[in-house]
């Protein structure tokens, strides 16, 4: 343990949810190759174990099995990452759920579906932020990043409940930026990607971006954690990947 923590003395440590596949896995790989350490989680043991084995050659990584909507697991997730690496510099709230699939129209959804989507997409990441933020603020620089969606502003039929949950996190991040001027906060719409989640929502979709390419496009957001670079966007910005570039679409 001591040797691992000694090696990590100056390396940023990122807490990331939903890291066993898709964008979460790709971001973890990129962050490790940049010289960081990552504690990630996902719900399926076999997926976490497989991802951890594939990621270990890139750098220090710890995968934990659990549901981010479980308050006891959130405590374990933060505590174990801190015990392993001695610090937390950033959090990436990537895990989310579509809820009922096919996704119902707003008035055809159920209270149970609404609660499930908001529990995973809003309440759980917010609670995780409350746990991690005091630890992150011990560092000279810290970052909170949530993965949003164009559904947050799109008004697409069937995407209302999911989109509302993403819009809620966008607003919470913007508000946090105003309340915590020393805490860098972004929400990012990565665009449509070739992931299991997107396939479940739209099996016929084509022309989707590879998560590995999107992960590379998000790396400038983390660069200040690794060096002397300034933050590329103002805290609280809502960002979007457009034609391979990160652009600010609202603040």
Question: Where in the chain are the domains?
Answer: 2-250
Beta strand segments in 119-207, E: 143-147, 184-189
Look-up of token digits 């995780």: 128
**How is domain 2-250 classified at the CATH fold level?**
Rossmann fold (3.40.50)
Report the C-alpha gap between 102 and 157 in whole angstroms. 11
Report the C-alpha gap between 64 and 76 in whole angstroms. 9
Report the C-alpha gap between 139 and 12 in whole angstroms. 9
Q: What is the pTM of this model?
A: 0.92
Q: How far is CA 155 from CA 81, 93, 167, 202, in A?
A: 38, 23, 11, 16
Q: What is the pLDDT along the chain (251 residues), one digit of tens a residue?
A: 334 444 456 799 999 999 999 999 999 999 999 999 999 999 999 999 999 999 999 999 999 999 999 999 999 999 999 999 999 999 999 999 999 999 999 999 999 999 999 999 999 999 999 999 999 999 999 999 999 999 999 999 999 999 999 999 999 999 999 999 889 999 999 987 656 665 656 666 666 668 899 999 999 999 999 998 999 999 999 999 998 889 999 65
Q: Do the Cβ atoms of 142 and 221 come closer than 8 Å?
A: no
Cβ neighbours for 193, distance < 8 A, ≥ 6 positions apart: 22, 23, 208, 209, 210, 211, 214
């Amino acid at each position: 343990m001591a040797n691992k923590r000694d090696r990590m003395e100056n390396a940023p440590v990122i807490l990331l949810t939903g890291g066993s596949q898709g964008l979460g896995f790709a971001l973890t790989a990129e962050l490790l190759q940049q010289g960081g350490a990552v504690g990630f989680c996902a719900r399926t043991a076999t997926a976490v174990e497989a991802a951890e084995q594939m990621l270990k050659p890139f750098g220090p990584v710890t995968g934990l099995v659990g549901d981010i909507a479980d308050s006891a697991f959130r405590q374990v997730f933060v505590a174990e990452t801190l015990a392993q690496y001695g610090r937390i510099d950033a959090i990436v709230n990537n895990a989310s759920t579509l809820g009922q699939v096919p996704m119902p129209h707003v008035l055809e959804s159920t209270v149970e579906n609404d609660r499930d989507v908001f529990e995973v997409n809003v309440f759980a990441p917010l609670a995780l932020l409350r746990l991690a933020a005091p630890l992150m603020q011990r560092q000279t620089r810290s970052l909170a990043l949530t993965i949003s969606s164009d559904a947050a502003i799109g008004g697409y039929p069937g995407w209302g409940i999911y989109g509302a949950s993403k819009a809620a996190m966008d607003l919470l991040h913007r508000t946090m930026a105003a309340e915590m001027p020393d805490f860098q906060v972004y929400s990012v719409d990565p665009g449509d990607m070739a992931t299991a989640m997107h396939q479940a929502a739209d099996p016929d979709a084509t022309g989707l971006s590879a998560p590995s390419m999107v992960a590379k496009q998000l790396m400038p957001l983390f660069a200040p954690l690794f060096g002397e670079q300034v933050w590329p966007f103002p805290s609280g910005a809502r960002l979007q990947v457009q034609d391979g570039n990160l652009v600010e679409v609202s603040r």
